[in-house]
Every structure is written in C-alpha cells, then in structure tokens.
Structure 1
C-alpha cells in the first residue's frame, strides 16, 4: 500500500511516494517502542469506530452518541510525533495553532509500566464522553470534555503522541492532532447521520471510519522532517497507520 506525502527541498515542494513498511512505524525516536505506538493508535481508532457507529456511551446511563456521516481513521504521523516530543515538558518547539493538543502527566520511574500509565491517561480523557450529554448532538462542552473532543474530532486524519521525563518521577504524555475541534456553539465534533454517508470516494468506509487511500503528511509540523533518506522513494515506519483496517479488534474501550 502506498501513501503520498509532501516534502520540501530547496524551497520547492516535491511529492514523494512512500512505501508503507508493514513491520515498523519508522519514527526517529528509538526510545519509544512501536508496541507503545500501536497501542496508542489502536486505542484511538477503536474508540472512534465506536463513536462513528453510534455506540459510544455519553451523559446519563443508557444514552449514546449519534452515528457519524464522516469520521476519519487516524494515521500515525512520525513528523507530528517529533513535534510532540520536542514540545513536551515545556519544550521550546511551538505547536501549530490549528492542531488539537492533549497533555497529561503520570509517574515515571524504573518501576513504572509506560504502557499501563499511558493507557490510564488515555482512558481518563476518553471517559469525558460521559461528563456531559452528547446524545442529542455532538457539540461538546470544552470545560468538561476538552481532551475527548480532540480525540473524537471527525475531521482529524493524522496524529501522534510522545512522552518525556520532565524531571524526577514526573512524566508527560503529549498528543497532537492534525485538526482542532472547536467548542463554539455551532461547531460539532462531526455531522450526525448514516454511518460513513459522507466519506469521499478516495476515503472509503472501512470498519465505520473513512479511511484514506493515501495520507498526506502535514506541512505544519515543527520542525518539518521526513524520513532519514536521500532517495525520492523510501520506506517509512508507519506500521499502525494502515493496520487492522478491515478487521479491527473487538476489545475497544467502552
């Protein structure tokens, strides 16, 4: 499977064709495992599927969010991950203004399990789905559901998370999303209606999510980095970006 990304060279925008490697994500930060990346990626997409299908619990017991006409599959973007890593723990690297931003802390020491700690933070963010009633429409309450809003925003196509030790035993998880959910009165998380009814032809519906045949890397990432290669065609480590599309796991967090 191929993915089209945009790159810069000598001030001229060039198109690069990237072969998606099935065995690794290909991100530069080797301190973070692909197992961790896959767990974070799967958590997001399994739960976005639940929203898109109209089965996500919300508000009072027995209520669910309405189905989505267009909810995108999230692709793991190594350039966004690099931006997140350099911006974590009050790093000096700015975050693009139109990106969604989720930030959380956890204990980080030799005894901690980074996967478990990360999942606990992600679960806490997703639990915000029940902090306010979204069963009538998807206009979320930013004061109670900010992080959930970033995770469930239908128009986001790319994202990544990273973590760092901020000193002592304090760790920070920072997730960036390629599009920002707006909490203003007339800006819902997605359009409600028949599942996948508005998926574009180039983004066919797969497991309740609009799944792009190609993914265009955002040029907004800071700093802008493609994979370490001098060749026009190169392998990129995006294992999870296109994995398990046709047969998602059934153990999504409810």
Structure 2
C-alpha cells in the first residue's frame, strides 16, 4: 500500500483516453458508468500488452522477458460487486482473500474526475514492477499490485470505487486459474519476438491470448433475485424473527390488552421462494422492479406484495431491505390489531398482514437502485396471499397447532418448522 502512495507522488503522464462506442457491461451498480469500466479495462489490458512485448523495466532497468501466454482480460461484474461490498460502505481497505488478487488505493477527494484519479492509481500500481529485481526471469518474490495486474492466468477483472466524505477508495479484483503467490511465475517467458503469444498462436490478438467470459461466483443463496447471500439471508432472517416475535407474544400492539399482540398457535416458518431452473417467487419479484417502473407494480398471481420506494439511489441493498421490512412490520405498532386478527384489507395494516399471515409459507425479495429517478425500489412477495376476511393468524397457545400441520415447534418456541 505504501509503495503505491510513494509512487503517486511522482509525475504521472496527463494524457487521458476518450472512450467512444462504449459497450454495455450490464453490471448492477448504476452509479458507475460503463465509460469508466471500459477505460479501466483498456488500461489494464494495455499494460499487460506492454509486458507481453517485453517493454517493462525492473529495478535494475532491465526489461522483463517477453511472454508466450498473457491473456486479454474481460470485465467481471460479479468481481466488481464483490469489491464494492468488501469496502463495507465506508471505503475500508479490502483484505486479500484466496481466489483473487487485489490492487487498491485510498485517496483524498482532491480530484473531481474519478477517471483521472483512476489513471493515477493504475499507473502507480503498474509502476511497482520497477521495485523488483527480475534477473531476466519471471518469478516474483511476493504478490503486489503489479503482480495482481500482470499474472498471465488472470481470468477476469472487476474494479469499483466509492467516495466517503473527503476520502475515497479504488479497488480492483483479479480472479485467476491455478496457483499464484510468492515465488510464482508471472507468465511463460520468451526471448524471441516470434514466440510472443505463441501459446494461443491461432487466436492471438494484439499480443494477448483470448479468455472466455469470466464468471466469478458471488456468494448467493438464490441467483434469481440478484441479491448477495448476506442480503438474502438478512431478508429471510428478519421475516422469521418478526413472525417468531409475534407468535411468542412479544410483539407490541397498542390495541391489545397489556400492550402485546396475542400469541399464535400455528405460525409457520417461512422458506425462501427460489426454484433453480424454473419460475420462482424470487425471479418474479425481481422482474417486478428490475426496470425501475415509475408506477407501483402489482403482485404476481397467487402472491401478496409489499413494496417501498426509498428516496435514495445510493443506499446498499441490505440497508434498503432492513429499512423496508422494519417499516412494513412497524404497522402493527402504529395501527395495532387487538384481539380480532381478521384481515379486512385496511391499507394501514396490509404490509404487516402480508408478513404475518400464518398460512404463508414462502417469501422472496428484490432490490433495485434506480439512479434515473433518484430512488431505490424494494419488493417482497409472499405465498400464499392472504384473502380478505381471513384471520392474519390463529391465536392460541404457542405452537399448539404445529402437530396438525405435520411440523415441530422451533427452539426457542414460536414457529412451526
């Protein structure tokens, strides 16, 4: 890290690339432009190309050998999202994790143009090549930012940035195949111009070998809703936490005697509605909001829907879910229910009723940041839907109806599982 900070103090070339005909990357973070992504990708591949041609100097001002097998990188949206999440929303330094290498740097927000700032960062990272004594070889003693950018078997790159007050951070993650660490070879060397890119001679393009589209898997529970695993788990956990709170008699209700809602006899534990390879609540819920509709969506047939617009397009998906779910459940504490748990369709209690319906068995949620409208959409759907005139839940001794459902009571008591 300090190596990069030192190099940032030197004079950096001030020529910046104008990107024309920008490709659509289709990444989730709408706050980052495809022009920036393409600029970074071109810069990284140009640096790798210069190494393949033998144009990079080491500490002794000797050129690194030319390369037979350096790949042309492609952008990986999942790596980009993983890097962003690893900053924890406060520009934290991203730790090195097995399976990918990291190039990153924090900066003070003095430069208003993030592309210019990124140009400086990439130049500094690549300049770390000059700190290594190579002796006409390709084995590096340790992996620094240069090594992360230069490794021949890198399979994908995803970069991101965040601004936190007066400071910011740029992070690039590189996925790779095989083993790579200290005392590893960066690439297969050659000292003959005609052997540059020879490991893929028939498909070599501008000194680099092609690579298939990278698919670094984000940790997910259900791919259909496009949520990360942490957000997915948080949504499911919050729903079941509130249902158990209600079932066990600890949910505050201003209309009930003693200030708490009656206990529930058969409150089912919700499971996440995700079915691989077919239609699911998760896919349907995501489809409701993926295009940032300006009008509120209608529920999928057979489901009830809770929907919220948050007037911020920079909020994280997990924070958005927590805000929406807390607000929906909060209708119980605001409106109250009392001893009669019959649902009459009153709008002031509908979101709570959808969440608390004791016959509901499945839930699925989705989040979409919509920069165009300056907002974030949150949707959760529940199956089956609660009909008007039905009880939201059957009151009675906790878990006393679980056996009839063929289920057991949770520990601590509250839900039929």
For normalisation by structure 2, the TM-score amounts to 0.44
The structure with more radius of gyration: 2
1:74 aligns with 2:73: yes
In the aligned structure 1, how far is the partner of 2:139 from the partner of 2:152?
Answer: 12
Which of these residues, 171, 186, 189, is aligned with residue 186 of structure 2? 189
Higher strand fraction: Structure 1 or Structure 2?
1
Q: Which residue of 1 aligns with 2:58?
A: 58
Displaced runs of 4+ in structure 1, greater than 4 A?
93-96, 223-231
Cα 1:39/1:195, change in 2 over 3 Å: same
Task: Report deviation, 1:222.
Answer: 3.3
Asked if the contact 1:160/1:176 (under 8 Å) is kept, the reply is yes
Q: Which residue of 2 aligns with 1:13?
A: none
In the aligned structure 2, how far is the partner of 1:55 from the partner of 1:226?
Answer: 45
For residues 150-202 of structure 1, give each alpha carbon's deviation from its aligned partner in whole angstroms, at most 9, with x where no partner exists: 0000000201100012x3211011110012873433x111111221122387x
Task: Report deviation, 1:38.
Answer: 1.1
In the aligned structure 2, how far is the partner of 1:26 from the partner of 1:79?
Answer: 11
Higher helix fraction: Structure 1 or Structure 2?
2
Task: Report deviation, 1:135.
Answer: 4.9
* Structure 1 unmatched ranges of 5 or more: 1-20, 232-254
Query: 1:1-254 to 2 correspondence within 5 Å?
Result: 23-61=23-61, 63-88=62-87, 89-90=91-92, 97-108=98-109, 112-142=112-142, 146-165=144-163, 167-179=164-176, 182-185=180-183, 187-193=184-190, 194-199=195-200, 204-212=203-211, 214-219=212-217, 221-223=218-220
Cα 1:140/1:69, change in 2 over 3 Å: same
Cα 1:141/1:226, change in 2 over 3 Å: farther
In the aligned structure 1, how far is the partner of 2:35 from the partner of 2:46?
Answer: 16
Asked if the contact 1:71/1:190 (under 8 Å) is kept, the reply is yes
Tell me how many residue pairs correspond in the alignment: 200
C-alpha RMSD over aligned residues: 3.0
For residues 113-154 of structure 1, give each alpha carbon's deviation from its aligned partner in whole angstroms, at most 9, with x where no partner exists: 111111111111111111122351112242xx6000000000
